[in-house]
Amino acid sequence: MRTPQNIVEYAREMSIKQLFKANGFNTVWDVWKQEIKYKYLSNTPTEHQIHELGDHLRDIFRTTGQAGRSQSDVSGGGANWEALVCWYRLVSSKLQHFLIVF
pLDDT of the residue at 71? 47
- The tens digit of pLDDT for each residue in 29-71 reads 889 999 999 999 888 888 889 889 999 999 999 998 764 455 4
The residue that leads in pLDDT, 28 or 15, is 28
Q: What are phi and psi of 38, to 5 degrees?
A: -95, -20
Nearest-angstrom CA–CA distance, 61 and 81: 7
Question: Which among 35, 11, 7, 23 has a CA at the least distance from the CA of 83?
Answer: 23
Nearest-angstrom CA–CA distance, 100 and 54: 19
Q: What is the mean pLDDT of residues 13-22?
A: 77
- The tens digit of pLDDT for each residue in 82-101 reads 888 888 887 787 765 555 45
The pTM of this model reads 0.71
